[in-house]
Structure 1
Amino acid sequence: MTAKSLMFQGTGSDVGKSLLVAGLARAFTLRGLKVLPFKPQNMSNNAAVTIEGGEIGRAQALQARAARAPLSVHMNPVLLKPQSDVGAQVVVQGKVEGRAEAAAYQRYRARLLPRVLESFSILKEQADLVLVEGAGSASEINLRHNDIANMGFARAADVPVVVIGDIERGGVIASLVGTKTVVDPEDAALIKAFIVNRFRGDPSLFDNGMKMIAEATGWRAIGLLPHFADAVRLPAEDALGLAGPAEARPGARLRIAVPVLPHISNFDDLDPLAAEPDVELIRVRPGEVIPGDCGLVLLVGSKATISDLSVLKAAGFDVDIRAHLRRGGHVLGLCGGYQMLGKSLADPAGIEGAAGAVEGLGLLDVSTVLSGEKRLEEVFGESFDGVSLKGYEMHMGVTDGVDCDRPFATINGVPEGARSVDGRVTGTYLHGLFADDAQRAAWLSRLGGTASGFDYEAGVEHVLDRLAAHMETHLDLDALLRLAR
């Protein structure tokens, strides 16, 4: 079996590439094809654990789910996890290979192309159709040298390209026509079609616009795709999904405050809570104050824990959290958030940046040393109160201390996490807790709230099916299949 393939690139970042590929993956899967997603290079601190014990971007995990395929490191062979404004951890075929500054990575990535092509070849032998997602903008000609994410990959693998423009941003005609104008002619020869995404209103008003783009570029118009409102019910790919205001729910019985720090990671842990009608999830940014009436302060993961801990303290969130505890509130730290809750956090090998050690928040009697192999695996067990759980671990570091004698959970007979003497501060390395309906219900009950009883995973499946129907209705999927090769 050697699959056909088709690549989807964008006129810019966040034009909807990831969601579109997920919808197409489910649509073509429902047509009976074996579909696999592929993204040569992704930049995200939202990651998922694969069957090989590696990690890939969360967007590719959602696309694989849409295709009803198990996760593989080959779906996203290069994952960059930002740890600063100019540096990132480099994950290749699921494993950490080091850390690179932005300028150095531009030179380094040429050496990664053979492994990207290797992963692509492996997937092609397992599928009927491979849907490839580009990164950022197809027209970033300043980054074209040694490119492995967009046209550089398309040329090397000889994959036809469909370009996506976002009409919601404005200037969609100029962005699509401009892409054709600025890219190298040999790159442009691979672009066969275009899609205009996120349209609102009467589609007939843009009929002439679609014709103008087609005439100016010579590309085939695949469709004008209306805005899909239920996209908010699917896991977001990156922190841009946290940029807007959260939904206000004045009648909610439980308010949960989440400090949003610069290197926040695996923030899809929040999605099931945000979907609960009895919960108001409040995103608190530096310069704001943690509300005094919240029942829980939730510290989620971080790709640069020491740096984010410094930001947390500088913002005064540590003072707010202590005041919250004095009022009888609860605090939960997940992964990096757990590490922040301890007495100290040390990075002797400089895994996150400069080597050193800092004081933690001191809310748990534990200390953490960032060292050793990265732990990547799915886990099953039960929490301290006997409630079953499933989730995954994705972290480096060892945490020990007196409060570990009161573990949050037991995983395969081994204690995990820590709780304070009064039980109001909890730390755990487990991600995915709130996607587990039993755990989500238990947490809301502990905090005085009420779970709605909805099946979170079934809800995601329902939205993916609706997204596939949306694609079938508004795009020419038969034309896409004819373009694939």
Structure 2
Amino acid sequence: MAKAIMIQGAGSNVGKSLIVAGLARAFTRQGLRVAPFKPQNMSNNAAVTEDGGEIGRAQALQARAAGRAPVIDMNPVLLKPESETGAQVIVQGRRWATLRAADYGARKPELMTPVLDSFHRLAAGADLVLVEGAGSPAEINLRAGDIANMGFARAAAVPVILLGDIDRGGVIAQLVGTRAVLDPEDAAMIRGFAVNKFRGDPRLFDGGLAEIVQRTGWPSLGVIPWFDAARRLPAEDVLDLRGQAGGALKIAVPQFPRIANFDDIDPLMAEPGVTVEIVPPGRPLPGDAALVLLPGSKSTTADLAAFRAEGWDVDLTAHCRRGGHVLGLCGGYQMLGRWIDDPEGVEGPPGRVPGLGLLDIETVMVPDKRLTPAQGLYLPTGAPIRGYEIHIGRSEGPDRARGWIGTAGETEGAASADGRVMGCYWHGLFASDDFRAAFLARLGGTASGLDYEAGVETTLDALAAHLSTHLDLDRIAALAAEVTDRR
């Protein structure tokens, strides 16, 4: 019989995803069949699953930590923001609706059934289900119809561990305050707490722990020191998107308002000879970059408008005049073309907007989303590439004749006549070591020879060891409750 335990946060971005990944690896190393589960996630950083859908990338990393292939049931509801007030709603891997926040709140109770269905399917093939909450249960204004935190915990009878973040300050208030605002039945679901991201001597916080225990009645399960190697793992939240200072070869990445699948740049940040500069709004593209990389976007035309409003189109033209290279991935690829045509209004009002004109292609948006793993060869060198596609839209034009990825007798991507501007629909390609080395070489850089995927595995092992040292894993396992189907 499977058991389950849920990690909720006393605030957003307290490290829930990372802790669940580390626990997944730690308990898997103990011989348990572990499955990660997040009822509802909000992220434009998605992964393509083995069963042909999409889930949050954090759940894909957690699945990897557990030695499992990612499947749609690990994240049955995924919200992908398309504007300040609306998002595409993915249910069990497929688009369900595009809703404004208020409309989603009204329809959210409909989703408890597929959430519970996915949870029980996962539990049927696991010894332990590690459930991750979203945001914080202290957001009691969102409690009605909740499927992400206490609403799910109570519906599925899953006990909760509350995680606080001491690095941002005020962790005592986070945890005690959460206890104060929860109604008694919700508070009763919490069986213990842990403090994350501690820097310095943990003994200095002994008094703080005692105060939290006394004021909440919850036992402490541990104080987790800062885990610096977390930067080597794919980030899910745009709040975690930071550059990496490294070597002389600079790659500039403009930060779109709706940037998506930005883990594409993680392998580049792992290269010691490369500096990756994330360029936020309000700053020009740097003039000393060898490559400007236009990343994925959840809303290509809106992000293209934002790109122009920042003056980055002028910066990019100057970069090309200086002989710089440009690479567009997925939405960034679409932006590089001459036109983006959305006759059916897939991304907003129907219309046709000019692209940046650096590739001789045109894109037509279509409602069907392409979700598939991908593999092929980098045609200039024959280096193997593995990646995935997750996009709407089809791009054609003369520069497609210079596709630079070969796959099954076809080519993917496009390139300008001088080869300095390139684009493709594939994500994840820089995790392929030989391709990354070849691509950096054409920019004048040198790859380090690192095995990126092995590095991720080593970091997950180190994270599991870190948690095993600083958390009471035996007690966490004992707190997990048997999964019972209460539907």
For Structure 1 versus Structure 2, the TM-score category normalised by the shorter chain is over 0.9
Question: Larger deviation: 76-85 or 290-299?
Answer: 290-299
Does the 8 A contact of 1:380 with 1:412 survive in 2?
A: no
Q: Return the alpha-carbon distance in structure 2 between the equivalents of residues 184 and 355 of structure 1.
A: 46
Superimposed CA distance per residue, residues 259-289 of structure 1 (whole angstroms, 9 cap, x where no aligned partner) = 1110000000001101111111111122212
What is the aligned counterpart of 1:248 among 245, 248, 271? Answer: 245
Task: Name the residue aligned to 1:154.
Answer: 153
TM-score normalised to the size of structure 2? 0.97
1:180 Cα deviation from its structure 2 partner: 1.0
Task: Name the residue aligned to 1:383.
Answer: 378
Does the 8 A contact of 1:408 with 1:415 survive in 2?
A: yes
Task: Name the residue aligned to 1:430.
Answer: 426
TM-score normalised to the size of structure 1? 0.98
Superimposed CA distance per residue, residues 289-332 of structure 1 (whole angstroms, 9 cap, x where no aligned partner) = 21222111100000011000001111111111111111111100
What are the within-5 Å matches in structure 2 for residues 6-85 of structure 1? 6-85=5-84
Superimposed CA distance per residue, residues 379-435 of structure 1 (whole angstroms, 9 cap, x where no aligned partner) = 111122122211111111111111111112122222211111111110100101111
Residue type at the aligned position of 2:400: C
Q: Return the alpha-carbon distance in structure 2 between the equivalents of residues 377 and 132 of structure 1.
A: 26
What is the aligned counterpart of 1:473 among 452, 469, 472? Answer: 469
In the alignment, structure 1 residue 347 sits paired with structure 2 residue 342: yes
In the alignment, structure 1 residue 224 sits paired with structure 2 residue 223: yes
Secondary structure at 1:123's aligned position in 2? helix
Residue type at the aligned position of 2:463: L
Does the 8 A contact of 2:261 with 2:296 survive in 1?
A: yes
Task: Name the residue aligned to 1:307.
Answer: 302
Task: Name the residue aligned to 1:185.
Answer: 184
Task: Name the residue aligned to 1:445.
Answer: 441
Task: Name the residue aligned to 1:330.
Answer: 325
Secondary structure at 2:59's aligned position in 1? helix
Question: Larger deviation: 288-297 or 358-367?
Answer: 288-297
Residue type at the aligned position of 1:330: H
1:353 Cα deviation from its structure 2 partner: 2.1
1:372 Cα deviation from its structure 2 partner: 4.0
Task: Name the residue aligned to 2:485.
Answer: none
Question: Larger deviation: 348-357 or 274-283?
Answer: 348-357
Does the 8 A contact of 2:137 with 2:143 survive in 1?
A: no
Question: Larger deviation: 169-178 or 337-346?
Answer: 169-178
Task: Name the residue aligned to 1:140.
Answer: 139
Q: Return the alpha-carbon distance in structure 1 between the equivalents of residues 145 and 330 of structure 2.
A: 35
Secondary structure at 1:430's aligned position in 2? coil
Secondary structure at 2:167's aligned position in 1? helix
Residue type at the aligned position of 2:113: P
Gaps of 5+ in 2: 482-487
Superimposed CA distance per residue, residues 20-57 of structure 1 (whole angstroms, 9 cap, x where no aligned partner) = 00000000000000000000000000000101110000
Task: Name the residue aligned to 1:395.
Answer: 391
Task: Name the residue aligned to 2:484.
Answer: none
Does the 8 A contact of 2:416 with 2:422 survive in 1?
A: yes
Q: Return the alpha-carbon distance in structure 2 between the equivalents of residues 443 and 92 of structure 1.
A: 37
Residue type at the aligned position of 2:63: A
Residue type at the aligned position of 2:312: F
Q: Return the alpha-carbon distance in structure 2 between the equivalents of residues 258 and 171 of structure 1.
A: 33
Task: Name the residue aligned to 1:461.
Answer: 457
Secondary structure at 1:257's aligned position in 2? strand
Secondary structure at 1:37's aligned position in 2? strand
RMSD value, Cα: 0.9
Q: Return the alpha-carbon distance in structure 1 between the equivalents of residues 102 and 281 of structure 2.
A: 29
Residue type at the aligned position of 1:415: T
Moved over 6 A (4+): none
Task: Name the residue aligned to 1:124.
Answer: 123
Task: Name the residue aligned to 2:285.
Answer: 290
In the alignment, structure 1 residue 420 sits paired with structure 2 residue 419: no
Q: Return the alpha-carbon distance in structure 2 between the equivalents of residues 238 and 408 of structure 1.
A: 31
Secondary structure at 2:151's aligned position in 1? helix
Does the 8 A contact of 2:346 with 2:367 survive in 1?
A: no
Q: Return the alpha-carbon distance in structure 2 between the equivalents of residues 157 and 353 of structure 1.
A: 37
Q: Return the alpha-carbon distance in structure 2 between the equivalents of residues 248 and 375 of structure 1.
A: 35
Secondary structure at 1:127's aligned position in 2? coil
